[in-house]
Amino acid sequence: MHIAGLEQGSVDIGGGTQLYWEAVGTGRPILFVHGLWASSRFFRRQLDAVGRHHRAIALDLRGHGRSSMTPGGHTVPTLAADLRAFIRALGLDRPILVGWSMGALIAWEYHLQFGSDDIGGLVVIDQAPTDFRYPGCEDALVGIAEMHDWAAQVLTNRNQFMRAVLPMMFHRQPDDEAADWMSNEMCSAPEAIAAAIFVDQCLRDYRGMIADYDVPTLVCSGDCSAQPRSGAEFLRDRLPRGELRLFADCGHCLFWEDADGFNEALLSFVERLA
C-alpha cells in the first residue's frame, strides 16, 4: 500500500535497542501501538487517513517487525518503558495512544510506572484488562492449558501456527495478499522471543487499576471478536472517562475490517478532546 508522504526511521532508546517507526502528517501526535506478534504495518490504513489531519505515528515494539530483537526485555513493563523512551526521543507532546490488543496493556502499564500526565488520551482496540482466566474473570480469553499449547506451538511449529492464528483475528477475512504479509510480519521474531512475550502478556492483570485510570478513553470492540465482550463492558462500566463503541461484523482487527468506520470514530474522539 503506497502512502503519500510516509516517513520512516529508527530511534535509539538506549541499551542497544532501536525502535523502527513510520509517520505521516503534521500536528497533534497520535501514536499507534500494535498488538502481540504484529507491527506498525498493520496500521497502514490509519496512517494514510489520520495523517491527513494529524501527526500519525506507528512504531514496531521491541522484538517485533523491524525493531531490535534483543535477547531480553520481552515483558509488558519493559515495552511500556520503551514506549516512554520513544515518546521522549521523538519529542511527542501529550500524544494520544491507540493501543490494539497488547498495545492497550502497554498503555495501562505505562500509567502504573509513569503516570499519564504526558498522555492526551487512549483508544483501546479490542482488549480486556486481562486475557487470563483468573478467579472472577472466568470468561477471559485463555487459561493455563491454552497458554501452554500456544507457547509450545510457537516454539516448535511457528510458521504454520501463525497461519492458523491469523483467521482467528478477523470476522471478514483479508485477501490472500494481505494474509501473506500479515503472517510474515507475525513471524518476524525468533521463536523464543515470540513465546516469551506471549506468556508475559497473557498473565498481566490490570483490572485493579482501571477505576483510577482517568485518561479520556475510547474503547472499541468488534462484535464478532474472539475477545469476550465482558472485557469491553468492564472498561465501559469502570473507566472514569470511558466510552464504548461497537463495530458490527468485525473481529479483533476491527480497524482493518472497518477502517473507514474506525478512522472516523478515532478522529471524532480526537476532536472532542481538543
Element (H, E) at 244: strand 242-247
C-alpha cell of 3?
502512502
Q: Is 131 a catalytic residue?
A: no
Q: Are 189 and 64 spatial neighbours (Cβ–Cβ below 8 Å)?
A: yes
Q: Are 255 and 81 spatial neighbours (Cβ–Cβ below 8 Å)?
A: no
Q: Helices in 203-258 by DSSP H: which ranges?
A: 229-238, 254-257
Catalytic residue, chosen from 101, 116, 188, 221, is 101
Q: Are 218 and 96 spatial neighbours (Cβ–Cβ below 8 Å)?
A: no
Catalytic residue, chosen from 10, 53, 118, 223, is 223
Q: Is 74 a catalytic residue?
A: no
List Cα–Cα distances, 45 to 72, 133, 154, 157, in angstroms.
Answer: 31, 33, 28, 30
Q: Which of 82, 75, 74 is nearest to 17 (CA)?
A: 82
C-alpha cell of 89?
526521543
Q: How far apart are CA 187 and CA 182, in angstroms?
A: 9
Q: Is 101 a catalytic residue?
A: yes
Can you tell me whether residue 116 is helix, strand or coil?
A: coil
Q: How far apart are CA 123 and CA 96, in angstroms?
A: 8
Q: How far apart are CA 179 and CA 174, in angstroms?
A: 6
Catalytic site positions: 101, 223, 252
